[in-house]
């Protein structure tokens, strides 16, 4: 079976067509600037690449163009869209409405649209728009929602609750949901395979460090805690997100800056993090360059990021009563040896020691950076969220 994985943003739509027999992506690409002048689809397939500079006023036109690209000349990989067995949609937030991948029915679609938008106002409406577009263009093809938060559904109450009035949690669903679940699930399972043990036998901390960053404690194959919270604003500081901050400081800042509630949350999401601290950039490559040139605020931003990530690793080792494996993944985790070294530095007391030379290597698959005398395995594992979405879609069907 071939599964189309769709990840829709407000003005973007990324996709992969995955062959479930080989678990390889036959084609992939992304539409950018949907609804904005200058829209473009960059598509790959059959080892070739093609750029479609074509007006895409909405997501329906975008998905029509994707289907065209999948069947088009030298980059085409299918003859008809009926070869697509199902579509798996990435959805960021599920709240407590969905705890596992879910086949779309009119009722499911209604719940997605009426209940979950306020939990991820930037992401979920876009996913719903992508879903509607696919349903219109591919009637009769099963649609499945795969939620970023599903992997975190196994957290115990003591981990996901905030210290607020319990009745308010019940009434409003204010609790920790977590994010990047498909990535944490994938890399923790890959780590277990690499080590050659069953997931049930291992205590793993996974660090998904990218534009958004989250750290997860995976005990016996199950998530028992994660650093992101009610929304993806919580946890470590990120590219432009503040990470954890005292709620009273938020109210104080809002008052001083004359910001509304909504604008304060936008400020914390878009103007803070390493971009805010450095005053230079949200991109860690720019921070590395700045730090090399002696920019003290770039050095500070990187120090803060390493320090905060390290604290989560320690906290989760404590939460699990030990740690067997530490995994780095996503844009920063996979590509920045400096950050990996900075996070691990000082964690020798937990049995975590990396081979500094090996850490500088680059590899397509899993990179093992464990030092010879390290008790804990330290691995760099490229994430593959699309494959998890495709697997879960296929499994459900």
Give Cβ neighbours of residue 378 (< 8 Å, ≥ 6 apart): 325, 326, 327, 328, 340, 344, 352, 353, 354, 368, 369, 370, 371
> What phi and psi values does residue 120 have, to the nearest 5 degrees?
-145, 75
CB of 294 to ligand ADP, least distance (A): 18
Provide the token pair at 265: 């949350």
Q: Does 229 bind ligand ADP (CB under 6 A)?
A: no
Going by C-alpha positions, the residue among 100, 143, 93 that lies closest to residue 118 is: 93
Contact map string, positions 151 to 190, toward ligand ADP, x by CB under 6 A: ----------------------------------------
What's CA 393's distance to the chain center, in Å?
A: 18
- Whether 148 is catalytic is yes
Alpha-carbon dihedral 184, 174, 12, 380, rounded to 10 degrees: -20
If the CB atoms of residues 9 and 199 are measured against ligand ADP, the closer one turns out to be 9
Q: Does 275 bind ligand ADP (CB under 6 A)?
A: no
CB of 38 to ligand ADP, least distance (A): 21
Contact map string, positions 303 to 342, toward ligand ADP, x by CB under 6 A: ---------------------------xxx--xx------
DSSP per position, 39-50: -EEEEEETTEEE
Window contacting ligand ADP (CB under 6 A); options: 13-21, 160-168, 209-217, 307-315: 209-217
Instruction: Walk across the sheet containing 24-32 and list its strands.
Output: 48-53, 40-45, 24-32, 13-19, 2-8, 84-91, 143-147, 102-103
Provide the token pair at 186: 């994938």
- List 32, 83, 283, 355, residue binding ligand ADP (CB under 6 A): 283
Q: Does 291 bind ligand ADP (CB under 6 A)?
A: no
Single out the catalytic residue among 19, 55, 72, 148. Answer: 148
Q: Does 285 bind ligand ADP (CB under 6 A)?
A: yes
Q: Does 284 bind ligand ADP (CB under 6 A)?
A: yes
Residue identified by tokens 């040896």 is 337
Exposure on the CB side of residue 384, measured as CA atoms within 13 A? 19
H or E, element range at 27: strand 24-32
Window contacting ligand ADP (CB under 6 A); options: 8-16, 56-64, 96-104, 205-213: 205-213
Window contacting ligand ADP (CB under 6 A); options: 98-106, 277-285, 307-315, 350-358: 277-285
If the CB atoms of residues 317 and 330 are measured against ligand ADP, the closer one turns out to be 330
Catalytic positions, written as ranges: 148
Q: Which residues bind ligand ADP (CB under 6 A)?
A: 210-212, 239, 283-285, 288, 330-332, 335-336
């Amino acid at each position: 079976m071939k599964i189309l994985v769709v990840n829709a943003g407000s003005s973007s739509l990324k996709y992969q067509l995955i062959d479930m027999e080989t678990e390889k992506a036959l084609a992939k690409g992304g539409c950018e600037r949907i609804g904005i002048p200058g829209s473009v689809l960059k598509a790959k397939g059959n080892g070739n690449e093609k750029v479609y500079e074509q007006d895409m006023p909405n997501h329906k036109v975008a998905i029509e163009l994707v289907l065209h690209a999948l069947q088009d000349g030298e980059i085409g990989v299918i003859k008809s869209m009926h070869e697509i067995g199902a579509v798996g949609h990435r959805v960021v937030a599920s709240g407590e409405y969905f705890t596992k991948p879910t086949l779309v029915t009119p009722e499911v679609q209604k719940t997605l649209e009426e209940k979950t938008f306020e939990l991820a106002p930037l992401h979920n409406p876009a996913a719903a728009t992508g879903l509607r577009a696919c349903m219109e263009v591919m009637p009769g093809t099963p649609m499945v929602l795969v939620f970023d938060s599903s992997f975190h559904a196994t957290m115990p109450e003591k981990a996901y609750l905030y210290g607020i009035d319990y009745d308010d949690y019940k009434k409003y669903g204010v609790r920790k949901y977590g994010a990047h679940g498909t990535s944490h699930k994938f890399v923790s399972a890959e780590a277990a395979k690499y080590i050659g043990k069953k997931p049930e036998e291992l205590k793993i901390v996974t660090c998904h460090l990218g534009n958004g960053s989250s750290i997860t404690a995976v005990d016996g194959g199950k998530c028992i805690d994660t650093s992101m919270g009610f929304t993806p604003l919580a946890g470590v500081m990120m590219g432009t997100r503040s990470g954890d901050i005292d709620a009273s400081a938020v109210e104080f800042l809002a008052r001083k800056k004359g910001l509304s509630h909504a604008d304060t949350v936008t400020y914390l999401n878009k103007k803070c993090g390493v971009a805010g601290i450095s005053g230079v950039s949200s991109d860690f490559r720019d921070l590395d360059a700045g730090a090399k040139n002696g920019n003290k605020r770039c050095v500070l931003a990187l120090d803060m990021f390493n320090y905060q990530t390290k604290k989560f690793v320690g906290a989760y080792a404590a939460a699990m009563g030990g740690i067997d494996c530490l995994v780095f993944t996503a844009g920063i985790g996979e590509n920045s040896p400096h950050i990996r070294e900075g996070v691990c530095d000082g964690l020798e007391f937990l049995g975590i020691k990396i081979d500094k030379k090996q850490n500088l290597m680059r590899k397509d698959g899993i990179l093992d950076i464990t030092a010879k005398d390290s008790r804990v395995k330290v691995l760099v594992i490229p994430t593959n969220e699309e494959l998890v979405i495709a697997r879960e879609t296929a499994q459900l069907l």
